[in-house]
Amino acid sequence: DGGITQSPKYLFRKEGQNVTLSCEQNLNHDAMYWYRQDPGQGLRLIYYSQIVNDFQKGDIAEGYSVSREKKESFPLTVTSAQKNPTAFYLCASSTFGQGEAFFGQGTRLTVV
Amino acid sequence: AQTVTQSQPEMSVQEAETVTLSCTYDTSESDYYLFWYKQPPSRQMILVIRQEAYKQQNATENRFSVNFQKAAKSFSLKISDSQLGDAAMYFCAYRRTGNQFYFGTGTSLTVIP
């Protein structure tokens, strides 16, 4: 079945650690996105990529980094520079130019 | 910058009744897409309905329909014959052709048995 897979579902990070969230899609979509979801704030865009080896910062990119080495994969690294990383993270993909976004199941990141 | 506004943080509806969720957006574009997504307690984002701006006819998907008013930049979602499984957060979203998505802050819908 085609879809988007995020892993892990739950992730715990110690202060000062970098952690990487995985996102893989087999929908053959060109565009991929990372969103952060906090209560009462909807979905805020962290990074997005429209083609391999290219990506753009979203509204809240500080403290995050991404790579897009393969069309299917768009991992997100939460660095120690991100001061308040506890949140729910959603990965999405879409065809380029039109149509809806398809979402993964999300990763809940907690700082311990 | 494009913005999407959902002015109703919470709504409730009696089972089998009809409820309308509001959404307005700001854009200078003429060609774009609008969506309603549902996020149940599992937190999986599920597409409910979509509307292409160039289409004048309002989209309908079973019990879900929209009222798209392009000049007013309004995109409301009507849920008919509400069911307990409709309880969720609902997000309105805007997509400019070829570009990123913008989401509202969501409306939490409670369905009362």
pLDDT, residue A87, reads 95
How many other CB atoms sit within 10 Å of the CB of residue B47? 16
Residues of chain B found within 8 Å of residue A45, distances taken between Cβ atoms = 100-101
Under DSSP, is residue B86 helix (H, G, I), strand (E, B) or coil?
helix
pLDDT, residue A1, reads 64
* Interchain CB distance below 8 Å, B33 and A98: yes
pLDDT in tens, B7-18: 999 999 999 999
The answer to whether A7 contacts chain B (CB < 8 Å) is no
- CA atoms of A64 and A55, how far apart (whole Å): 12
Q: Which amino acid is at B104?
A: G
Q: What is the mean pLDDT of each run of 10 residues along chain A (112 residues)?
A: 90 90 96 92 92 94 97 96 92 89 96 86
Under DSSP, is residue B22 helix (H, G, I), strand (E, B) or coil?
coil
B50, B100, B105: best mutation site toward chain A, by most A Cβ within 10 Å?
A: B100
pLDDT in tens, B60-91: 999 999 999 999 999 999 999 999 999 999 99
Nearest CA in chain B to A50: B99
Nearest CA in chain A to B49: A100
In this predicted structure, the answer to whether residue B98 has a pLDDT above a threshold of 80 is no
* Interchain CB distance below 8 Å, A45 and B101: yes
Q: What is the Cα gyration radius of chain B?
A: 13
How many other CB atoms sit within 10 Å of the CB of residue B67? 15
pLDDT, residue A55, reads 95
Give the distance from residue B92's alpha carbon to the nearest chain A alpha carbon, in angstroms: 10
Contacts of residue A39, defined as CB under 8 A and 6 or more positions apart, other chains included, come to none
pLDDT, residue B62, reads 95
pLDDT, residue B101, reads 92
Note whether A8 and A110 are within 8 A (CB): no
Q: Which of B78, B80, B87 is nearest to B23 (CA)?
A: B78
Q: Which of B35, B97, B101 has its CB closest to that of A97?
A: B97
* Interchain CB distance below 8 Å, A48 and B44: no
pLDDT, residue B2, reads 64
Residues of chain B found within 8 Å of residue A100, distances taken between Cβ atoms = 33, 35, 47, 50, 95
pLDDT-derived band of residue B1, with 50, 70 and 90 as boundaries?
Answer: low
